[in-house]
Chains A and B, each alone.
Chain A
Amino acid sequence: MISIETISKLLVRKSVILLIHISIYLVPLATTASVYHVCETCQIKSLGEAVVTANRHDTIKVRSGRYECTNLEITKPLSLIGETGAILDGKNLGYVLKLLGDHITVRGFKIINAGKSYTKDYAAIYAFKASQFKILDNEMVNPFFGILIEKSDNGLVQGNFLSGESSKEDDSGNGIHLWHCKNVDIVDNEIHGLRDGIYLEFVDSSKVRDNYAHHNIRYGLHFMFSNQDTYLNNTFESNGAGVAVMFSKFITMKKNRFLQNWGTSSYGLLLKEIYDADVTENEFKENTIGIFIEGSTRVNYFHNDFSQNGWAVKVSGGCYTNKFFKNNFLSNAFDVSYNSRMNDNSFHGNYWSEYTGYDLDDDEIGDIPYRPVKLFSYIVNKTPETIILLRSLFVDIINFSERVSPVFTPDDLVDEQPSLKPFQW
């Protein structure tokens, strides 16, 4: 028999153990909530000091004011929060913030005077081998590189505003630049006046969503060797050469807008060496070239709008089994341009605003096939100067005769079932 005493003793011992356990787990939790304030009249007067003093998982709040901050290395998990009017001044000396640990959050700062260099990639915010980082709602004025992230993973870059005044490619940096990263989300940022708006190299399984890159001197978005990424709902407008996508596999591009990328070698979207991608529901409007495709294979183009481009789709060599279906081609000077008679791509059931056929059986599919490649586009490919005869009567006549009996253009490049009505989605 166990006596009541022993039971009560046992209970007491258990509750003591429980209390000890609670204190072990809860007390550190309570200390993580500590918040340090930085301001000119506070105990801590600089962000650097606060970072040294703070323990892991602390929060540092920076009040309004201008703080000098150069090459500040953050190696422990911290949240840095800039309250309204908090400005970090890099004094043109180098990096401003360096995130070199995990679980670091940087939010709400205005960062000015980050250094420029011809040998080092100085950035307003630099992250290296960081995991679970968050860079939110910051503003960067005229940085060299804006946000430079290397060998990091599982991060979020959201709501940042980057503006630059770059005019030359060789002495400017990129807005958001990722190198060797994984699982990073780049969301809702605005970038203008830098070299490349967003640049990704060796970045896998990441999402680029709701960004607005405009008036950058080179590309709005530029990515290479980056697989399994998703690009959703971004707008790229009036960038020097548009958007370039190269050497990547399994890419999804959806609901992006490519607008007014005008110039001699400019395009809405350049696809070079892309395999197994989906390009869906994008809008290409008023670009010199809507999509320029080179060496890309198994890419599906579905529900895209091409309107008022010089060339909607320009296909160069080495493109196999690409599919164009249910796209709208509206008032482009040239819908599709090929530089050879070889064709292994299919155009099926698209809407072509220049289609003039009829539909006797009333199924909203034209009864006569449409040939999207004009003889004139072939001639312009061979002799670019002939572009001056665009929309002249003679050109209309030769286009018509070529359409009746194709001699120079790929004769199997036909949309057998052109839609009579533009698609809505």
Chain B
Amino acid sequence: MREQKTIFQNIDWVMTGLFLALVVLGWMNIYAAVYNDEHNSIFDISQKYGKQMLWITGAIIIALVVLIIDANFFTAFPYPMYIISTIMLIAVIFFGREISGSHSWFRFGDFGLQPAEFGKFAVGLALAKYMSGLNIHAADLKTKAIAFFIILFPAGIIVMEKEAGTALVYIAFIFVLFREGFSGNFLLGGFFTILLLILALLVNKIVLVIVLAIIAIAIGLFIWVSSRNKKKAKRGLLGVFAILVIASFAVFGVDTAFSKMKGHQKTRINVFLGKEVDKEMKKKAGYNINQSLIAIGSGGVAGKGFLQGTQTKYEFVPEQSTDFIFCTVGEEWGFLGCTFILSLFLALILRIIFVAERQRSAFSRIYGYGVASILFFHITVNVGMTIGLAPVIGIPLPFFSYGGSSLWAFTILLFVFIKLDSNRLLILR
């Protein structure tokens, strides 16, 4: 086995190029979003766009460091990293600075670090390590239990940090499990769970349970009539009945869980569902979605042009440089710009999947799917939120949103995969 000659050897330039393109475009859009005439240099570090430049510089250094580190480091130590990450997640609850109700940030002077952003990386590695182990069979109950534990344990801690939005991202790992042989029912289950939760909030619960019961009976009858093996059919019926019971509990449980959510989160979800809520609260939360739609909608086909946005620049849109950065794209670059940016994201994700599939090592493949899934989930929720297709959950748009933690976390996430890929011909894992 040969050693690498330079750290750039065998680097996948497609992924690297897309990464750089997205980071630079993100920087330009942050500049446009918070632009003001007094500080019109994009390098002015008193402004967010100047700071973002520093974050980007940092991200590139981090990427280089990741490429320098021996790939074996990432394959050898996922569990210690997982443990360290988990400890950090717990520690931040006690030692972190409280920011608008949540305990998820370590502050060092001006500098802030959010362990939850890095947690995804640790979970991705740990999951890859576990799932690529010998004698792992997706069908085994033990495998399932441990895999879900690896994913849900940190997610649970993050919920305790009151960062439910970030915790939600961990659902994305279901795609990884699906690829590795977990039943498609998990995917469907995940989908229906989300659907059911939303319905439970919308529709009268008793009606919903009755409808579910009728559907269950119909399916049961169908199984009974159509199957010859009555023994198997009995088991099928039992399964249907069990699902009905669980679903009913879930439906009634939603209210309880929901009522325990933080005030602002509750409103955000209620607004998304279009339900009547306290007028003042609705005004505020609905305002965000509405302003976001106005900004994007007013962009038209080709947009208003760079720095010509009025809705984003003049603070009509909230959080315009972080969670709602996509509004700037929509307003200033229009439908064409949105299509371009979303195409870049899709291209990156598809490239990651393509590269993951060419790995000889299961570890690298699983990790790659983890990266793709996380990116996909972030994009879906973030962009979906700005165009009114997803509830307002404050998670960043990868590489685009202002902020060091998320940019660095995504950079590490991606470049570890690029590093693993560059070594695919050298080492067989």
Partners in one complex: no
Chain B interface residues toward A at CB < 8 A: none
Chain A interface residues toward B at CB < 8 A: none
